[in-house]
Structure 1
Amino acid sequence: MNNYKKCIALFLKRFLLIVLIYQLSRALFYFMNLDLFDTFTFQTFIGGLFFDFAAISYLNIIFLVAHLLPGNFKYSSSYQRVLKIAFYVVNLLFIATNFIDIIYYRFTSRRSTFGMITAKGMEQEAIGLIPSFLAEFWYIALIFIAISILFWKLLPDLNKNITRQDITKKDYVLKFSYLALSIVVLLILGRGGFQKKPIKIVDGIKYGALSNTALVLNTPFTILKTIAKKEDIENTTYYNTKELKSIYNPVISLNPNKPAIKKNVVILILESFGNENIRRGQTPFLDSLITKSYYFKNGFANGKVSIDAVPSILSSIPSLMNNSFITSSYSLNKINGLPKIFKNEGYKTSFFHGAFNGSQNFDQYAKVAGFDQYFGKDEYTGKEAFDGRWGIFDEEFLQFYAKKLTSFKQPFFSSLFTISSHNPYIIPEKYKGKFPKGTTVIQESIAYSDYALKKFFETAKKQKWYNNTLFVISSDHTSAGGDQEADQTNIGKFRIPILFFDPSNPELVGVNEKNFQQIDIMPSILDYLNIKTDMVSFGKSYKSKDNFVVYYLQGTYHYIKDDYYLAFANNQTIGLYNWKKDVLLEDNLINKDKAKVKEYEKFIKAYIQSFNERIIYNKLAL
């Protein structure tokens, strides 16, 4: 029995060593992203430990069995060597995900999930970006290598001088009892305790401020929690059908009393052009264009990654799932977005993206959405302009775009997604030193993309189609960091520039201070052009009296109406703030304005139910 107890002790030592490494990775996660979190408290530490035990327990149940299965076979040196290597490799692989998120969190504002790391169309992208990430964040790689070596050195071995003992029937019964009890303990730790349901990602909110949930969680946990999820959302039944429609109905009917305006429509989606870059002076051309446009000062993104922006902008489908719509199990749902609506109006439709074909599943989305043509890196023609990693530099691809638009029969509807301000932020050699470096690594490439945009408009102005075109410009999401505290709140993380520019309409100029988001772009364009149509849109037209936005991030729904912001998670409100006065979201009004909480909760529940039902039952098109 003494030998068996040594095996139990060996597993416990190895288990606790993993726990210690998780704490170290959380400390690095915090200190490397200090400006993105609130104060690290004891409550944060306890919550983090809670989720660490859950992830480590699930991952190591098989190793528990391998350590404690009764029998003398497990005392052989070859068995112990294989067991040690397997334990090391599996746990190190998941520890690595924590280290990856130390940097990746800056871009997504959430812990990575299984859907994020395995999304179809992302394989080549990951391969292309790994070298640039390693070059830019080499110190993380070095720390990880050091941890890996230390982990192996500290991983204890079974006593080599162990003497084999005869095992009686009574010993087998006792040892199997120990094994069963140990499995039960790990299962309890894995599910987070004795409560009715196992802990979920959203439960991270219980252990600190909303902005600290990613600090409480660990990446192995979020991956394990999403690995078996075939579906991304659950059907919710807050209200019956009649009640639901009376509170919120996403069906919009446009019935103008004027004839349709057959203008061309060009939507330019700018990579990472968040508000934090606009005010820094990195975008002189876009700044000048804003003064000639109808500018939505309080513009918001519907997601934190590029693949969330495309369906939001072009099909008015928000990102209210942990997986992006494009990569979810609903990606082939029937949708009736701008491409199909414009096609019915006689428009030629096209989508352009300068990265390699298949990047971020945009080519697949283009087919599902109904675009006539897709133009990626493979379709580019012009002088050599490959950035060596990602795709075609923005300047050359935008010039190619202008040339293609000129070849299209009018009216046309087209959208382009820029790429040069995406990591690895490569700009052409000839422009090194031309643009301001700024305070973060992305800002020089933002300035270059702004310059490329300027050159595009200079070319477009000379074309016959220019004055008959409505240009819509939106960022896809904010960038990795901001130089003000307000940039890191759950408001600041989503604020982006959105503007409408019609060179032939001097009346479409000014600043709109209403709350406006990417999913509002589709109904607004159609309303502006007097196009008669019925559609499912989770946004609203710029002419609407409604003044709300809704977005989602890893278990929490964010609802803004007028001057107030409500955070809703786990079927309950967790925060209410006056975001105009309290820009850092420090004064939680949840217990001070219960009437507003009730009003806002009623709407957000209806909004969630409407979205979930239409996604699940494939009712995004009428």
Structure 2
Amino acid sequence: MKNYASSLKLFLYRYFLIFLIYQICNIFFYVLNTNYFDHITLQNIIGSILFDFSSISYITFIFLIAHAIPGNFKYRQSYQTTLKISFFFINLLFVTTNLIDIIYFRFTGRRSTFNMITAKGMEKEAVGLFFSFIIEFWYIPLLLIILSILFWKSIPNFKNKSEIKHFTKEKFLKQSFYFLTSAFLLLIICRGGFQKKPLRIVDAAKYSSIRNTPLILNTSFCILKTIFQKEDIEKVNYFDKKKLDSIYKPILSFKTAGTVNKKNVVIIILESFGHENISKKQTPFLDSLITKSYYFKNGFANGKVSIDAVPSIISSIPSLMNNSFIISSYSLNKTNSLPKILKKEGYTTSFFHGAFNGSQNFDQYAKASGFEKYYGKDEYIGPEAFDGKWGIFDEEFLQFFATKLSSFKEPFFSSIFTISSHNPYKIPERYKNKFPKGTTVVQESIAYTDYSLKLFFEKAKAQKWYNNTLFVISADHTSSSGESEIDKTIIGKFHIPILFFDPGNPNFSGVNEKNFQQIDIMPSIVDYLNLKTDLICFGKSFKSTQNFAVFYLQGIYHCVQDDYYLAFANNQVIGLYNWKKDPLLKNDLQTKNKFKTLQISNFLKAYIQNFNERVIDNKLSI
């Protein structure tokens, strides 16, 4: 039994070696992203350790079997060498994802899942962005190399403790007992204890404030928990049908008197133009345009990644799943969408995105949502303007966009998604040192895109269609970081500029302080154009008396209603705050204001129930 005991001890040594490496990753994750989190508590540390042990146990379970299964074959040199090499590379792969997330977290606000790292539509850009990542964040690959060397050198080899003798029935029974006992204990650690349900991503909220949940989780756990996830959402049954409809019903009817106002519609989606960049000398043109527009001061994104923005803006579909709708199993559901609605009114429709065709599945979604034409990098005609990594620089592509708009039959509806303020934040060499660099790596490219937007409007202003066009401008999501503490709260992470600009109607201007989301853009355009239609719509018109915004991040639902913000997870409220009086969200009002807690939580439950049912049953359109 000495060899068998030696094999088990070897597994335990390797197991705790991986645990130590995870702690190193956790320390770097916190130290390099300190500004994103609240102060660490003992409860945070306990929660983090629990999730680390769970993920490590899942990953190493197969190695426990290999080390503890009864039999003398385990003690062969070839077997042990294969085991060591496999253990090294499999665990190193998961460690690598944790190191990459040190940086990627800044952009998404959450730990990466399997669906995020395998998302379709990024294949062509992957190589260019990979090398840009290495250059910009060189210390992450360096840390990976150092950890890899230390890890390999620290993995002990198996040494026979005694002569290998004949395998007897007694040995088999003893080893079987140790094997089954070890496997049982490791399974308990995998599931996080003896509780009814195994540990889930959303359970991180039990051990921390909402802001600190990424610290509790590790990327390995999030990948493992989503790798076999077939369905994106599940039906819930908070209310019966009558009660559900009385609280919230996502059917909007536009039947106002008057003729249809067939203005052209142009939606401009600005990459990473979060509210934290407005009025900071980075966006002088957009700042000036805001003063002439109908501006939504409390505008919110529906997601933290670009592929969440397009269905939200174009089809009023919120991002309430772990998968983005575009890459989910429901992406081809029949939906309402602006191109379909406007096509019935005689509009020509088109979607523009200067990146590689197929990037982020935008071309596929554009087709599914009813756009007649898609213009990507392949369709671009103009001066050489490839940035070498991602696509066509914003200046040239926006000029191309303006030219194409002039060729379309009116009325037209068109949308463009800018790209230059996306990592690797490249701007043309001729503009080096022309724009303020700001305090974050993205801000120079934001200033460049703002300048490109100015040139676009200068060209558009000279066109016949300009005064008969409604321009809608929205960021896709916030930047990777902001300067103030408010920018780092959950409210700040989703706060973006949204504005409607109608040069032919100067009276349509001012500041709207109601809560307004990307999903509100579609019904607002329909209402502004005075179209006659009924819609399944999870947003609301800018004329509505409703005042809510709903978004979702890593298992937690967030609802902003009037001056209050409520967080909801595991079918229960985990926080209520007056976000205007308490912008840093320090004072939880759940027990102090039970009426408001119940009111907002019931609305949110009805919203979730309606969304999940309609998405699953393919009832997103009338």
- With the shorter chain as reference, the TM-score category is over 0.9
Aligned residue in 1 for 2:373: 373
Q: Is the 8 A contact 2:2 2:162 kept in 1?
A: no
| Amino acid aligned to 1:594 | K
| Amino acid aligned to 1:190 | C
Pairwise mapping of residues 48-87 of structure 1 onto structure 2 (< 5 A)?
Answer: 48-87=48-87
1:116 aligns with 2:112: no
Aligned residue in 2 for 1:219: 219
Render the CA deviation track for 1:371-412: whole Å, top value 9, x for unaligned. Answer: 000000000011100000000000000000000000000000
Aligned residue in 2 for 1:590: 590
Rounded to whole Å, the distance in 2 between the matches of 1:582 and 1:246 is: 31
Helix, strand or coil for the counterpart of 1:313? helix
Aligned residue in 1 for 2:453: 453
Aligned residue in 2 for 1:30: 30
Shift of 1:29: 0.3
Aligned residue in 2 for 1:404: 404
| Amino acid aligned to 1:77 | Q
* Structure 1 range deviating more: 182-191 or 403-412: 182-191
Render the CA deviation track for 1:241-273: whole Å, top value 9, x for unaligned. Answer: 111111100010100201000100000000000
Aligned residue in 2 for 1:46: 46
Shift of 1:596: 0.7
Helix, strand or coil for the counterpart of 2:265? strand
Aligned residue in 2 for 1:330: 330
Pairwise mapping of residues 127-142 of structure 1 onto structure 2 (< 5 A)?
Answer: 127-142=127-142
Give structure 1 stretches of 5+ with no counterpart. none
Helix, strand or coil for the counterpart of 1:567? strand
Aligned residue in 2 for 1:303: 303
Shift of 1:69: 1.6
Helix, strand or coil for the counterpart of 2:558? strand
Aligned residue in 2 for 1:15: 15
Shift of 1:536: 0.9
Rounded to whole Å, the distance in 1 between the matches of 2:534 and 2:128 is: 42
RMSD, aligned CA: 0.8
Aligned residue in 2 for 1:620: 620
Aligned residue in 2 for 1:434: 434
Rounded to whole Å, the distance in 2 between the matches of 1:20 and 1:508 is: 60
Shift of 1:56: 0.7
Render the CA deviation track for 1:536-591: whole Å, top value 9, x for unaligned. Answer: 11010000000111011011111011110000011000000000010100001111
Rounded to whole Å, the distance in 2 between the matches of 1:47 and 1:551 is: 25
Pairwise mapping of residues 272-421 of structure 1 onto structure 2 (< 5 A)?
Answer: 272-421=272-421
Helix, strand or coil for the counterpart of 1:414? strand
TM superposition score normalised by structure 1: 0.99
Aligned residue in 2 for 1:540: 540
Shift of 1:220: 0.5
Give structure 2 stretches of 5+ with no counterpart. none
Rounded to whole Å, the distance in 2 between the matches of 1:120 and 1:242 is: 40
Shift of 1:163: 2.5
Render the CA deviation track for 1:301-331: whole Å, top value 9, x for unaligned. Answer: 0000000000000100000001100011111
Helix, strand or coil for the counterpart of 2:523? helix
Helix, strand or coil for the counterpart of 2:252? strand
Rounded to whole Å, the distance in 1 between the matches of 2:280 and 2:21 is: 39
Rounded to whole Å, the distance in 2 between the matches of 1:361 and 1:418 is: 15
1:236 aligns with 2:242: no
Rounded to whole Å, the distance in 2 between the matches of 1:608 and 1:161 is: 60
Rounded to whole Å, the distance in 1 between the matches of 2:35 and 2:162 is: 52
Render the CA deviation track for 1:144-173: whole Å, top value 9, x for unaligned. Answer: 110011000111111256531332101101
Q: Is the 8 A contact 2:6 2:161 kept in 1?
A: no
Helix, strand or coil for the counterpart of 1:361? helix
Q: Is the 8 A contact 2:436 2:444 kept in 1?
A: yes
Identity %: 67
Render the CA deviation track for 1:86-113: whole Å, top value 9, x for unaligned. Answer: 0000000001110010000000000000
* Structure 1 range deviating more: 372-381 or 122-131: 122-131
Aligned residue in 1 for 2:501: 501
Rounded to whole Å, the distance in 2 between the matches of 1:172 and 1:49 is: 35
Rounded to whole Å, the distance in 1 between the matches of 2:160 and 2:34 is: 45
Aligned residue in 1 for 2:463: 463
Helix, strand or coil for the counterpart of 1:419? coil
Rounded to whole Å, the distance in 2 between the matches of 1:546 and 1:41 is: 38
Aligned residue in 2 for 1:483: 483
Q: Is the 8 A contact 2:3 2:160 kept in 1?
A: no
Render the CA deviation track for 1:491-547: whole Å, top value 9, x for unaligned. Answer: 000000000000010110100011101000000011001001111110100000001
Shift of 1:45: 1.2
